[in-house]
Chains A and B, each alone.
Chain A
Amino acid sequence: MATADEQWWDAQAGEYVLGTLRTAERDIFERILQSDTDVQQRVSFWQQHFSSLDQNITPVRPPDYIWKALLARIQSENPTSQAAPRASTTLDSFSDNASDLLDDSESGELFEDFGDLSEADNVVPIMERSQPASSSSTIWKAISGLSLAATIAMAAVLMQLIDKQAAPVDAPLDVVSVVQSEELNALWVLSAQENSTTLKVVALAPPPIEQDKSYQLWMVKADDSGVSSVGLLPTTAGTSSELSLPISTDQAQVFAVSLEPAGGSPEAGPTGPVLFTGDITTVDTSL
């Protein structure tokens, strides 16, 4: 049976690992922890046992407020950049930034107490080391090789960085589609806000095309009753454009891209082969 003193130190060490000590309490505890092996063992006990709770944590998309704070920070630090965020596209630097942003609040302690987020099991790596801002085409190529979910998340942010005319950050994107090749490389990212007919298009890595050809985007209707033309897609990596949605995204089941003569199909439907498709994803912005 532990003495009251031992129980007090067990509780103190447990609270330290949980992150529920107040700042002053934690500072004092950390000073003692540095030199007291008995306290170190008590902390180690809780770290070892609570670490099994880590396995219950499922991968999550960072909440919107973190994205917004991150984006605001990037823009304020790098107001003249029209390209990619400055070396902030790795999860390492993401967590550093997020940690900095939250340093003023109690929740900032989360990042200190539980170590480097980039090594945690529940964090989905976004991408390898980023490219410098000057090599904007390289970053688009890098993004095009990402997983679908990561592409959607990154592209939604980057799209707004390169296009200052795009919707403000506090107007979230509701519908996103990534047009992919057969090898599942992302070629174009399409996005729209709910109740808007404007479709924003970013060319990530459009395949090379002959001068007398165009890529034309179509919406395939949900009931297989045909297709509606959306317009021509940009063919230079890193460029964006806006097209007008002919039908609402919830009336369509998929986007499709066909190869057409320059300027687009002379018919009401595609005249060339359908080369690529993109599923329509509704983004949950209720976080």
Chain B
Amino acid sequence: MNLDSSTMDVMPARTTSIELQTENVQVLELCLDRLAKPAKECIVSAYCEGFSAEELSERLGRPIGTIKSWIRRSLIALKECIDGHS
């Protein structure tokens, strides 16, 4: 990545970026905690461990349709929650 002066001018200050990141972490944690436990597990396992919906279905012993539904409803709830705290 070339960091010429014009790029540097538009880059946010590092402290701002860190503050924003910290805020994002807190908001995400808060919103994830509002989800039902299995739904939260689906989201976190899919992101952190790379589980597919099929793998989550096997792992949690629930039909694939249920897992997909949990994930999508959780994402919509997360989006609303995060937007509400921004």
Contact = CB atoms under 8 A, between A and B. Distances in A.
Nearest to B67: A20
Given A15-B71, A57-B48, A20 B78 contact: no
A105 to B, nearest CB: 9
Question: Main SS of chain A's interface residues?
Answer: helix
B46 A2 contact: no
B82 interface: yes
A11 interface: yes
Question: Main SS of chain B's interface residues?
Answer: helix
Contact of B28 (A15, A17, A52): A52
Q: Classify chain A: how many residues form its interface, as a range.
A: 20 to 34
B47 A2 contact: no
A18 B24 contact: no
A2 B71 contact: no
Contacts of B29: 52
A54 B52 CA distance: 18
Interface in B29-54: 29, 43-44, 46-48, 50, 52-54
B76 A7 contact: yes
Interface residues of B, number: 26
B25 A20 contact: no
Given A2-B79, A11-B76, A53-B48, A20 B71 contact: yes
A135 interface: no
Interface in B68-86: 68, 71-72, 75-76, 78-80, 82
Across the A-B interface, give the 9 residue pairs with the lowest CB-CB distance, nearest first. A14-B75, A110-B50, A52-B25, A11-B72, A18-B46, A106-B52, A11-B75, A20-B53, A10-B79
Interface of A: 2, 7, 10-11, 14-15, 17-20, 22, 45-46, 48-57, 106-107, 109-110, 114
